[in-house]
Amino acid sequence: MSLLTFAYLIGGLVLLVLGAEALVRGAVKLAARFGISPLIIGLTVVAFGTSAPETAVSIQASLNGSGDIAVGNVIGSNIANILLILGLSALVAPLLVSRQLVRLDVPVMIAAGVLTFGLASNGTVSRLDGCILLALLLAYTLFLVIASKRETQRAQRDEFAVEYGAEEQAKPFGWVLQLLLILLGLGLLVAGSNLLIEGAVALARALGLSELVIGLTVIAVGTSLPELATSLLAVYRGERDIAVGNVVGSCIFNLLLVLGAGALVSTNGLSISPNALVFDLPVMLAVFAACLPIFFSGYRINRWEGTMFFGYYLAYTLYLVLFSTGLPAINLLRHAMTWYVLPLTAITLLVIFLRAWKYQR
């Protein structure tokens, strides 16, 4: 394993983060120039911007014939979004959860996950399946736009508008600079995804790991850096409800946009490995489902819940490494998780949900 492999990985990640930043800044300012509200910018443009690295990597991987990386990137990013990013954010400070997330966005996220699992159950996410996912993304985005127009209160400020300068007074011909930022961001995303894919494939071969495992771990965490930065920044600024909304929105975009686009550009669709079908996708659905009782309980994520999320992510990553390398310690980990940790967690979540339900009534 050469230094060039690490240079590709690090260089690709840096270019992806810089590209996403340039794309978001340009798109937010351009959208604001045309009178799009900060709320819609945060829910759509910023959500797309933080998912742009996953989109670029999955499309490039699909075009290169590395379908396992594309699929692993989506599944691994969603698991990392919930367990790693929300876990670390909640460790910094307890997170607030808006009622809209519990009533609308989290159910949409779970429904999108169930639909993805159903489409992938035959071992392939076809081009037609990709079109279905992209059509649902369009419908979801239009619903957000229409719903926001019905809101009567417009005084609430959005920290994304402040951060990216959406409220600055429009300058003559400023749209040219904003368009150039968008083009620069797209170029950096393409270049970064190319480097990251080459480095990841080389790393997988050198370590004897499958491309799926690399996609689920190294690439998933790397492409989730924009979500991590956005969530931690929101927590630091006291906008702790935005940290949760950013993660949930990103998970929805990953399933509908990233996986849909990856399947659409692939000649024969994306093949789903048996391991992803019987383990990683169910893990993702279980993580999604666990959000409802935790979010519903007091509409907040406490530090101990963040610790639980983060601990599960470490256990999941350890399981992937042990399974891929064939070390005997995996049997002990599988036994502990199956017979002790998971049942106790399920009971805890059920108790939390029932108490929250009783309190709400």
Q: What integer pLDDT is reported at residue 329 of this predicted model?
A: 84
Q: What integer pLDDT is reported at residue 312 of this predicted model?
A: 93
Determine which of 78-82, 142-146, 216-220, 286-290 has the lowest per-residue pLDDT on average.
142-146
Tens-digit pLDDT profile for residues 252-273: 999 999 999 999 998 888 999 9
- CA proximity to 85, closest of 115, 50, 110: 50
Q: What integer pLDDT is reported at residue 331 of this predicted model?
A: 85
Q: Higher confidence at residue 299 or residue 157?
A: 299
Task: Please give the average per-residue pLDDT across 289-308, as a whole number.
Answer: 89
Contact 244, 296 (CB under 8 A): no
Contact 242, 89 (CB under 8 A): no
Q: Phi, psi at residue 276, to the nearest 5°?
A: -65, -35
Contact 145, 316 (CB under 8 A): no
With H, G, I as helix, E, B as strand and everything else as coil, classify residue 322.
helix
Tens-digit pLDDT profile for residues 41-69: 655 666 677 777 888 888 888 888 888 88
Q: Which helix (H) or strand (E) holds 126?
A: none
CB neighbours of 131 closer than 8 A, spacing ≥ 6?
Answer: 260, 264
Q: For residue 287, give the CATH number of its domain.
A: 1.20.1420.30
Mean pLDDT of the chain, nearest integer: 81
- Does 124 have pLDDT greater than 90? yes
Q: How many domains does the chain have?
A: 1
pTM listed for this prediction: 0.81
Q: Please, what is the end-to-end C-alpha distance for the chain in angstroms? A: 59
Task: Please give the average per-residue pLDDT across 76-95, as a whole number.
Answer: 92
For residue 253, the enclosing domain spans 3-360
Q: Higher confidence at residue 13 or residue 317?
A: 317
